[in-house]
Structure 1
Amino acid sequence: MWTIAIVDDDRHVLGGMKRLIPWDQLEVRPVGEAMDGEEGLRLIEECRPDIVITDIHMPVMNGLEMIEQLRKRNYEGKIIILSGYSDFDYARKALRLQVDDYLPKPASLSTIREVLQRVTAELAERSALESEERELRNKLLQYEPYLEREWVKSVLTGGTVSPLSKPPERLGWKNSQFMMLALEMKRQGRMEGISARDWHLFRFAVGNMMEELVGQAGLRSCFLELHHHMAILLYKPLSWPEEAFRREALTLAERMISSASRYLQVKLHIGAGSIKGDWRSIADSTEEAFQALSTRREPNPAHPCVYVYAEGGCRSAGRRNVRPVRFFQEMADAVRSFDEQRALLVLEEFFREDGGAAQLAAEELEAIGTQMFAILSFTLYESGIRLDEELPLTSLSNELSHVEGAEQWKTWAAQKVKRICSRFAPNENMKHKETVDFMIQYIHEHYAENFRLQDLADRVYISKNYLSTLFRQATGETFGDYLTRVRMEKAKSMVIEKKLLIAEIAERVGYRNVPYFTTLFRKHTGRSPTEFYRA
């Protein structure tokens, strides 16, 4: 409900305005009155009314002087001048002070109603825009941690990162050196055959322990889940001696292995990349750490439990240019959503001319093929799909052993990806029906919450525009219209029950801005909540 303050030195005018203004009909209420500009200024500063109706000629301080002071003090409410003077200079100064209307005395009831309807509608529109801006800012703040995690993930895996982007200050990466540890947790003993949910909980427990050990070691870190592996980025200031940093990191890795075995009965294998003096080279350390983990060369004698990357230890010169970690991550993301075209593009990119993958030896391609399907199996297992039932590991190993050369391997991998996507992707019509049904159910269950179409698009792995089209085709309404209709129907039920205040009802159906809610309610029902309540 909007508030109004009236400033006029004529008591008859003050009394007349009180009688003339249709308060309930316009959903406005008085907050006070004053008889001169100075008194009016104090009233407005104290009550902060949405609308001020004022005369010009008053004692102590006239109306224009009062308005000028209000504007200097950043008063943003609506101001209506009601004066018996129609002097052009007054009107020009009122215009400069951004007065919303200039009415002659005496003003008719219809004129007053018309002006107040217009300014309250403008207030409602402005309030709605401000509310949307606040929601957008809040949404951006909510997404900020997610965006930061995705940015870090791209840096760590070698994904596309703008050359102009910089690490968030909060990370403390400036003037630091970095080293990556790759962790592989083996399913054995009591972990054999446990559910995907329990496996994730177990990984979560291991991750918590690893992060606690990092903190005890006095190292800063970023923890990242990669497929069925984990990765921990360690970093120290550049001023710290490099060899000392290496010893700390490898000693920490040994403690991780020991603690996981002792307290969780989990066998960990850890690979360590080399130290990098620039955050742009972190992805190289990631690749090195996973390469050390996959090749399982003799551990460092000083740190016998950790596989440490050794420069020049590759069996193929082209191996240095291959980015399997990035390849695995992008392939897993594509197959998770059964996006065959995207998966094939990832495969082509992996074998681009300058990439080096085409020069890999047969045994290296075989190892990458085995790892790729282990990762895809883990990725789909999260969705309840047992890939090993469709493509048994023994059959894959046998096929891989007969694959000769990079081109044949690429053809073989493409066939497998196509088979997975065609075999497990839901039927399009059924999938679309299930998607729309999910959206409808979600709206009815979460209508009081602050969510948008993009939030649902993120949940179902469909672009926002395409999802909007599917929803409109299925329901005949846009997503926004349907959500508003559900909220208004819920609001109508609450208004009819007469148990809650209008502000409470607005909040319970997802609107913190009461005027905006009132505007939508009137548009939907033809009456304001108050009128509907009294009907």
Structure 2
Amino acid sequence: MFRILIVDDEPSVVDAISQTMPWPELDVEEVFTAYSAREALAVVEGQYVDIVLTDIRMPGMDGIELMEAIRKRSGRVQFILLTGHAEFEYARDALRLHAADYLLKPVRDEALIESIRRLTTSMRETWLEVSSQRSSIQYVQDHLPTLRSDLLRNILEGRLAPEDVREKLGLLQLPFEDGDDAYPVVVRIERPHQGRHDRALLEYAVMNVAEEVIEPHCQLWTCKDVHGYLVMVLKPRTREEAGGESVSRLLSQWQHLVSHYVKMHLSIVYGACEAFPRDLPVAYEAAVRTLRRRIGRDDGLLTQAGYAAEAATVPRAASVLQTPPSISHLFSAGLWEEAKEKLLSIFMEVESLREADEAVHADVLAEIYHTVLAACYHYAHANGQTVAQALKCEHDLSFYQSPELMQSVSMLKHWAFEACLRLSTSNQEEIQDARATLIGQIQEYIHVHLAEDVSLQALAAHVDMHPVYLSKVYKLVTGEGLKEYLSRIRLERAVKLLKSSDLKIYEIAGQIGYFNTAYFIKVFKKAFGVTPQEYRDR
């Protein structure tokens, strides 16, 4: 769907085109209007438009100058120029600026419809080409390093199913396959030595050394993780180079060369992943845990990730609990269905422990409870509420303060889903109330200022909303488009004035916002089958 801006210093021309063209048939979603080139520039500053339909001869800035100014902002906007003068100079400028069409006024509806349809068809074909498989492949090639890093980060965070990983590995030309032996390496790049302050450049230098030392022996895949650590996944190129000893030797050499020549310390923990990609997130977490528990804030150390040595005496809460996206993130973003799916995954994992006859430690339930409650607090405070207000329990604080919630999996599960439901209901009510207020403001403004500028841009400016958002929300709530509502109110006001006043037809037209009396008569007759005077005389 396209967006069009109509520009002419004759309001009647703008109104006639904006209100009479079969826009849905032309695949036009939004129609913006402007009565001068300066006003048109203000529209373009605020929102994107695909097509500008503009008169050439206008006071102040003319249509050619407008076209040049918009071209500087966006090279993709297309132009249809209207003029009452078949002058060679205008035609030459239109060709120079690659106008899509050049029409003489008064333009017939059929000619304008055909011009717009031809242009939207051409633009649609262009965008289909941009989004085609060939263009997508070119995009992948152009952004390969970034896309590879993003993929690795998503695997480490457990965001992707194995089948999705397989597909993306091939697309991104990564030499890793299901079941490969791989070695995740977590690297903390420590503060530079005295006098070396450009950290970003130094990190590039660190990676250059890694490529020189490690890549001849191992496939190398890297990213930055959520902690800001450098994460590398190594895959030995030959069987002879496989094994922790070979990896340790390469990492030790790299660490030494970086310290000696780049003057930076590296703290390194490496692990082993026997079945890529399934085991990679677990091996990565073990390496991060080892870095935290065995290296701490010391620097320049190299060690292997501990598994048995790092075994916890208290089982971790469901592993999905802290895996991105977090409950807090989902609540804050208003992604309620995704939040319920997240909670379901958490409790499915907890309940699987009971099915395996393993006791669910009280600390596990406490972590889940406090994580969900903290997300509720964050959501409430971000919305200027107390948590009791957000959860609709101001008269029953025990809803979220009861210690019993942490004593039973079933009670905790019921409470977590109920909290999610209450927040989502509160959010939906807030949206509905805000939209009802917005609709009321718009309708009141139209009734009071009917004889003035009540264009979509003016209405949007009045309520400080984006015009496209306003237009879509209005129709979503009322079932009627803003243009249809405005036209209906004008005609209703016209009928009332025809019946109850002695105002002349042109005076009525002015009072309801029609600048051109002939156009008002045309619109009225189309709606009622008779002219305004004939309607009054009945």
Q: Per the shorter chain, which TM-score range?
A: 0.3 to 0.5
Q: Report the TM-score when normalising by structure 1.
A: 0.40
